[in-house]
Structure 1
Amino acid sequence: MHVPQGVQDAALLAFEQALQRAHLRAAPERAAHANPGATGETLTVYERGSFLAETLFNGTGLSLLTTRVGPLSMQAVVVLTTRTVNDLSRVIVSMVVGGEVAPEIAREVDAAIDDLVARGVVVDGPGWARAVDVPRESLGHPQTAREHGIRG
């Protein structure tokens, strides 16, 4: 999505809070080897769950009962990037791991967008798309995220 540059920080805060409501936490260690300068983006990475919990839930069928039980939750990695394009900030919220929790995360991000719009922020752009449809040069693209060590 695109927001005016003057409200970029407010938009980022809204999306960070949305991701936290979806039980994600900042994961700077996942971004440690990434080079956002190569893509002209700023980068923050969020995660929840673990591979062990994912295996346990999927292997036992518990994923049908719940997608989150504290730190034992379905795994997700979300990349939040911004990039200046003309007078706008392009903001990408992209799930690069964890399709099982996509509806929960999308619901929270949608609520953040609705809140921004209600406060008079103009939110524009292509809207929702699959992560693989994010521009390949963006760290929000799953392949690029893997190449930069974000997906592990």
Structure 2
Amino acid sequence: MQIDMSLTRRGLFVGTGQAFAAIALAGPGAAEMLPKMTVTRDPNCGCCGNWVEHIKAAGFPVDVVKLDDVLPLKVKLRVPEALMSCHTAEIGGYVIEGHVPAEAVKRLLAERPKAIGIAVPGMPVGSPGMEVLGQTPQSYEIAIFSAGKQHVFARYRGLQQV
């Protein structure tokens, strides 16, 4: 049995149009449509800006709000004092506090645990935004927290989960 596969100009035109539409709709990173993140940070903090760049490089769309005093937002979002860091982000109904690696944020969004959010307290050397040339990254924990409770969500050294 032989099938006629001759190409018509109309078929070529329609097929090409469909291919271009599929590529345009897919766009960069279409396999992973990430929700928009809103980051509230001190305008004078360089490491906060570096963390935002890390998050953007991972494919997250980001809105940045610069405030001289981020503490009232942290309190409103119920970030425990012991977990507070220099910037606070909101994404997908969660709070992201401090220098959390983008991969941990993606895991949080994929697993959707019952929690307020995740946090890296302090500013560990080697965490995203806190890279220091010539210094070995520190090990650090990412805490997951909810009302009155917190436990370890992940352990990292630099950008590597350990």
Give the TM-score, by structure 1 length: 0.32
With normalisation by structure 2, the TM-score equals 0.31
Task: Choose between structure 1 and 2: higher helix proportion.
Answer: 1
The higher-RCO structure (CA 8 Å, 6+ apart) is 1
